[in-house]
Amino acid sequence: MPSLSPSNSPPRCWAEIDLPALRHNLEACHRYAGENCGIMAVVKADAYGHGLSHIVGALGDVDWFGVANLQEAERVREAAKQREVNVLILSPALPEEIEAIVVGKFSASVSTPDEVAAYAAAANRLGKTARLHAVADTGMGRMGGLPDVFPALARTVIDSPNCRLEGIETHFPVADEDAAFTREQIERFSALLAQIDLPDDCRIHLGNSAGLLGFSELTGFAKLARPGLALYGVSPLPDTGEELRPILSWKSRITLVRGIPAGISISYGRTFVSERPMRIATLGVGYGDGYPRHLSGTGAEVIIAGQRCPLLGRVTMDQIVVDISHLPEEIVEGEAVILLGDAITATELAERAGTIPWEIFTGITSRVERVYH
């Protein structure tokens, strides 16, 4: 019998990504945004762990993408192949990256006059135009000009040779938690816009997924919306986005089935000791794959043969153990296991692990094979 090589053996842990569901979610985001507002697909952090190249390729009718840094911007341009796409770097650039951003015709977010001056100088040296989006700090606090200086920042971009004020942006810190503060932000941002004589083609954008789904007043003046989590099928708001479809299912396999008597401890720390005879399954996944160690002892479950099976003991680097005492005897090694998908949502895993769905998705490591449908 020929032996299986590592290259053709089945994966121990993999994620399946449903690209038609991604496109369905894009259409839903367009409906929320309204006919006068475009979509900037946020694909930073490897498209939230879903695989940047495949996600960009699947979003064939999107012409704006949001990323965190120059390297991601270059990956988007490569993934778009012959398509003309606009790529906005949402984070501040390193000084050493500014020339490459200008040469690559990427759009950059700026918060200070010094940044504007650096882009203007690079564009002048290169004989090119710097495409800039001025950031207003209306409450996020990590970048942007504060309200008392922001109008001057925007005018600095307008007045700087070789610079184009392509966009005005701000960001919501609590659109999924504090509606009153978010509406104050929108009013503050709107008041700032009224102080600036903006170019007709300047793109105004401030709606992340929670802003897009929960604040219809944005459709009155925003020219772009920046959904991230919503594109991947998860609403950050509990009562909106019912039409969104999760696009990622995370799976593993049973690597070992055993029967144990009462009194057997499982995993590091001996935090679980069996009180009765049990059938248990070891699975080929652990925190080395991104399955959070903080799920240990929280009542977390996986799905095997359509039934929930509780996690036993601590999550280790490469393996976890679950209780399969209630499953049929036919359950054997090699059986597929759902870690995330069907009835187990990213929100459920995040709440049990004491984190957020964004971290669940982006924490799935490169050891987990991605399979695209």
pTM above 0.75, yes or no: yes
Interstrand relation of 307-312 and 130-135 (parallel, antiparallel or unpaired):
unpaired
174 and 266 inside one domain: no
Q: Which of 232, 264, 280 lies at the terminal end of a domain, its last residue?
A: 232
Q: Is 25 inside any structural domain?
A: yes
Q: Is 306 inside any structural domain?
A: yes
Catalytic residue selected from 44, 48, 119, 251: 44
Catalytic residue selected from 81, 119, 251, 268: 268
Write the CB contacts of 89 (distance below 8 Å, at least 6 apart in sequence). Answer: 67, 68, 69, 70, 72, 73, 101, 106, 107, 108, 109
Phi-psi region of 166 (alpha: psi -120 to 50; beta: other; left: phi over 0): alpha
Residue 223 bears catalytic tag: no
Number of residues that this document lists for the chain: 373
278 and 139 inside one domain: no
Write the CB contacts of 94 (distance below 8 Å, at least 6 apart in sequence). Answer: none
Q: Which of 232, 256, 272 lies at the terminal end of a domain, its last residue?
A: 232
Distance of CA 120 to CAs 76, 89, 165, 204, 258, Å? 24, 17, 12, 22, 67
Number of domains in the chain: 2
pLDDT computed for residue 5 by the predictor: 47
Mean pLDDT for back-to-back runs of 10 residues, the chain (373 residues): 59 97 97 94 98 97 96 97 95 98 98 98 98 98 97 98 97 96 96 95 96 89 95 95 96 98 98 98 98 98 98 98 96 96 96 98 97 97
176 and 317 inside one domain: no
Q: Is 2 inside any structural domain?
A: no
Residue 268 bears catalytic tag: yes
177 and 320 inside one domain: no
Report the CATH number that the domain containing residue 332 is assigned in CATH: 2.40.37.10
Check if the beta carbon of residue 228 is closer than 8 Å to that of residue 42: yes
Q: C-alpha angle 240/56/223, rounded to 5°? A: 55
Q: Is 14 inside any structural domain?
A: no
211 and 314 inside one domain: no
- Residue 303, CA atoms < 13 Å, CB-side half-sphere: 14
Q: Which of 13, 10, 83, 15 is nearest to 48 (CA)?
A: 15
Note down the domain range covering 324: 248-372
pLDDT computed for residue 82 by the predictor: 86
108 and 207 inside one domain: yes
65 and 175 inside one domain: yes
